[in-house]
Amino acid sequence: MLVVGLAGLLGSGAGPLLRRLFGADPGRDEVRIKGRRVRLKSPAEAIRAGIGMVPGERAKGLVLSQSVRDNILLPSLDRLGRAWIDRARAARLVQPLMEALDIRPRDPDHIARFLSGGNQQKVIFAKWLAAHAELLLLDDPTQGIDIAAKAQILRLIREFADRGGGVLFASSEINEILSLSDRVLAMRQGEIVATMDRGETFNERELRMALGG
């Protein structure tokens, strides 16, 4: 599947568009899911449709007072059973994800508030992988994390797409957009003003011209 980058200057509207697509903000935007156009009215509807979101503010993607385990399992409670969760089954789901995403410390009981920013971001990714999300909406997913964690996050995004998942992500870094995306949508004042596919007009100069910067 494709990695589609949303490029825009400050105030372009990329973040609000992602929130509307996730059903977190009211709007008229539609998404196409398995060939069917739908307008999602709430995050719960989006999750049931196989969509996950990594928000620009990590605190909005985590329950900071809860453990890494609880955060990873949160979108999967319907599947695991709300009333009672088999701890062995939960461990079989959580531990491999912590290993694969290199979440440190490797302690599922660790409280999310005390993780580094990069590890908090990886926990948010892990919960959508656990929930079998098919489409990820990412709002500046590498903002405020160190270089090593940033490289890991970008690798996770690419691997998710290579396994068949779809990614729509906004980033404040043009080089990040160009290096990761298969297609770029340039946004200005809430509107998509240009589309660029890899192999065509796909360079920083053309993108900056489209953005008006």
Q: How far apart are CA 87 and CA 70, in angstroms?
A: 11
Provide the domain count of the chain. 1
Using CA atoms, how far apart are residues 188 and 180, in angstroms rounded to an integer? 21
Of the pLDDT bands very low, low, confident and very high (cuts 50, 70, 90), residue 18 is: very high
User: Lowest-confidence range among 23-27, 104-108, 123-127, 159-163?
Assistant: 23-27
| Cα distance between residue 211 and residue 178, in whole Å | 14
Domain presence at residue 109 = no
CATH code, domain with 153: 3.40.50.300
Asked if residue 111 belongs to a domain, the reply is no
Q: Is the model more confident about 94 or about 10? A: 94
Angle, CA of 77, 79 and 85, to the nearest 5°: 55
Integer Cα distance of 17 and 25 in angstroms: 9
Q: Confidence class of residue 81 from pLDDT cuts 50, 70 and 90?
A: low
Mean residue pLDDT of the chain comes to 90
156-179 tens-digit pLDDT = 999 999 999 999 999 988 999 999
Please check whether residue 99 lies inside any domain of the structure.
no
Spatial CA neighbour of 182 closest among 204, 200, 155, 206: 200
Instruction: Quick: pLDDT tens for 58-80.
Output: 999 999 999 999 999 999 887 77
In the three-class reduction of DSSP (H, G, I as helix; E, B as strand; rest coil), residue 148 is classed as: helix
Q: HEC profile for 93-108?
A: HHHHHHHHCCCCCCCC
**Please, are residues 209 and 30 in contact by the beta-carbon 8 Å criterion?**
no
CA distance from start to end of the chain: 30
Domain of residue 159: give its range. Answer: 3-63+117-124+133-211
